[in-house]
Structure formats: structure tokens, C-alpha cells
Amino acid sequence: MSAFAVETRGLGKRFESIEAVRSLDLTVREGEMFGLVGPDGAGKTTTIRMLCGILGPTSGRASVLGYDLEREADEIKTRIGYLSQKFSLYGDLTVDENIEFFAEIHLVRDFRKRREELLEFTRLTPFRDRLAERLSGGMRQKLALACTLIHTPRLIFLDEPTTGVDPVSRRDFWKILSSLLRSGITIVMATPYMDEAERCSRVGFLGDGRLLAADTPANIKLLMRGTVVEIVCPEIRRAFAVLKTLAGVREVQLFGDRLNVVVDEPEKQISRIESALGREGIPVLQKRLLPPSLENVFISVTESQTSEAGHA
């Protein structure tokens, strides 16, 4: 059996003229949480659907839990769980009945003890008789996870599981995932949220169907080119436009009411930034050096790859 929970070589998927995933080489170790990170259209969902055996690849090969994705897809499906972006709970069934239904789908006959464990684990026991359509968004996601886990999979794929979930429910969901990791399960999760990616054992940056980088969050941050200077000032969008054209500035990233300006020599560039904004009548209210976030690094890596492709 493979030492990896997931291993792909040159995996690709094309939809007519659209190349959704391009020559993906990826490994996920047993027992880790691997985060696939990228914007909409990056190829995250297509990659997960291929690894679950839902979509057939147009090129390359892959193995999941040591089984060949093409020849042994049925073996894979009995050993994995998949929580899609639109998990199909049945609104007219209760929490209990939904779990029972998914147990039957997975041929889990003696499911009652497992259901009790999952209800307690997800803190849904008090709501077991409530119809799924009457649950909050966060509770529905926890029920969806319970249904995904009913057959005790060794590996689960989660496709943006906390999108649209309130912050408290999102935090509860992450506590559950942390408990799953301690039990030895492997988790592959697609997420657009960089703060969630920070919690993963390793992350893979996807952009335009390509794997741009894959490593631990700490090592990924070493790919950052330049130093991040945070600038707080009024007229933030006009300041953004001014600094985008300033010599010596690598990138300008807009984050709410502040700018992250990436420069090579902050000790020289900060005064130039203040002077350039001052000439436009924009005062700098606050400034400080920041360690790079994964979002900073993702933008930096994406722009670097785009620039290299343009010069190729």
C-alpha cells in the first residue's frame, strides 16, 4: 500500500475548451489535514470530485488510500467520505432519520451505536428529532458531517464546508475537525479562507488549475518576495492607485481600511510612500512592518507566476 493517503501524477481535467486542472502532482500524508486553497475557478472542487471518483480525469493518474483511482474506484468509495458544497440533506427528515438514511446508503446495518457517538460528537443530541429544514446553517453542516462519517471513513474530503456559516458555528466546526485529526483520520479540505488554511498541516495553492506551491504554512511563507508594510490612511482607494505606480513597490494589496505594500527595502521605501501620498494630500495615519500572511503570500506567488508566464 502507498505511504500516502492521496497521490497524483500529472492529473488533469478538461471541459471542452476549459482546462480546469492542469498536470497536478500532489501528495497527502496519512493523518494530516491538507488544505487546497484558491479563489473560485482555481480547480479545487474539480480536483476533489476527481479524487472521490465522481469525475473521471482526462489525463494523469492518482491513488487514494493506496487504491488506483481508475481501476479500484469502488474500493475507494467505501473508505472515504465526501462533504460537497451543497450536501443533500433531506429537509423533511429529522436529524436521526437523515443519519439513518446515509447509513443505509453505505450499507451500515448496525448503525445505532455509531449514530449516538456522532450525535454526541457534533453536539446534535438535543436536536435529534428536529427536521433538517429547521436547523440553522451551522447545525446543518454538523449534521452533514455526521452523515459523512457514519461509515467510519479513513479519509474525508470537505469542499468549502464553512462557507456561509456564522463565526460561532465555524469555530465549533473546527473543534470537531481537530478532534477527528486526533483520531487519526485524514482530511483534505478546499477552502477560500486563508485563516482556515493556517490551521492545516500543509496547504496547496491552486491558481488557474495549477498547483503553485505546496508545503507547511510556515514554509509557504518563506516564498514571500519582499517585506509587507501596513499603511492606514484616508481615501484608501486613491492611495492604492498612487502606490501601484510608485517605483520600488512590488505589490499593493487592499485589505478593508488598510493597505499592505510589499517592498524590498522598507527602511528606504516607507519615506517614499509617505512622500508620494503626501503630494496627493493623503496623510499616513499609521504604518508598521508585518510578517506575511498566507493571503499576502498567495497574491505574491500568483502575481509572480503570472509575470513569469507573460515573459515566457
**196 and 74 fall within a common domain:** yes
**261 and 208 fall within a common domain:** no
Residue 267 lies in a domain: yes
Mean pLDDT of 228-250: 95
H helix or E strand, kind and range, residue 204 = strand 202-207
Please, which contacts does 167-170 make with residues 24 or more away whose CB atoms are closer than 8 Å?
168/138, 169/136, 169/137, 169/138, 169/139, 169/141, 169/142, 170/138
Residue 201 to residue 178: CA distance in whole angstroms: 11
Torsion (CA) 156, 160, 163, 165 in degrees, nearest 10: 10
Q: Is 77 helix (H, G, I), strand (E, B) or coil?
A: helix
Q: Are 205 and 50 in contact (CB under 8 A)?
A: no
Residue 230 lies in a domain: yes
β-pairing, 33-37 with 202-207? parallel
- For the chain, how far is it from start to end, CA to CA, in angstroms? 40
| Domain boundary pick from 194, 218, 242 | 218
Q: Is 112 helix (H, G, I), strand (E, B) or coil?
A: helix
**260 and 233 fall within a common domain:** yes
On average, the pLDDT of the chain sits at 92
pLDDT beyond 60 at 309: no
Strands across the sheet containing 210-215: 80-83, 155-159, 186-191, 33-37, 202-207, 210-215
**169 and 255 fall within a common domain:** no
**203 and 247 fall within a common domain:** no
**178 and 243 fall within a common domain:** no
**209 and 235 fall within a common domain:** no
Q: What is the pTM of this model?
A: 0.87
For 2-43, the DSSP string reads -SEEEEEEEEEEEETTEEEEEEEEEEEETT-EEEEE--TTSS
The count of domains in the chain is 2
How far is C-alpha 273 from the geometric centre of its chain's CA atoms? 34
**25 and 167 fall within a common domain:** yes
Mean pLDDT of 139-162: 94
Residue 305 lies in a domain: no
What is the domain extent for residue 251? 225-291
Residue 310 to residue 304: CA distance in whole angstroms: 10
Residue 77 to residue 132: CA distance in whole angstroms: 25
Identify the CATH number of the domain in which residue 281 sits: 3.30.70.100
**268 and 167 fall within a common domain:** no
**53 and 25 fall within a common domain:** yes
Residue 33 lies in a domain: yes
Residue 307 lies in a domain: no
Residue 300 lies in a domain: no
Q: Report pLDDT digits (tens) over 3-18.
A: 799 999 999 999 999 9
**24 and 61 fall within a common domain:** yes
Residue 284 to residue 239: CA distance in whole angstroms: 10
Identify the CATH number of the domain in which residue 110 sits: 3.40.50.300
**20 and 63 fall within a common domain:** yes
Q: Report pLDDT digits (tens) over 93-141.
A: 999 999 999 999 999 989 999 999 999 999 999 999 999 999 998 899 9
Residue 304 lies in a domain: no
pLDDT interval class at 312 (50, 70, 90): very low
Looking at residue 308, what is its pLDDT? 55
The single-letter DSSP state of residue 179 is H
Residue 30 lies in a domain: yes
96: Cβ–Cβ under 8 A, 6 or more apart, which residues?
115, 119, 128, 129
How far is C-alpha 245 from the geometric centre of its chain's CA atoms? 32
Residue 117 to residue 129: CA distance in whole angstroms: 16
How is residue 189 written as a grid cell?
A: 479540505
Looking at residue 70, what is its pLDDT? 92
| Domain boundary pick from 218, 240, 255 | 218
| Domain boundary pick from 218, 243, 262 | 218
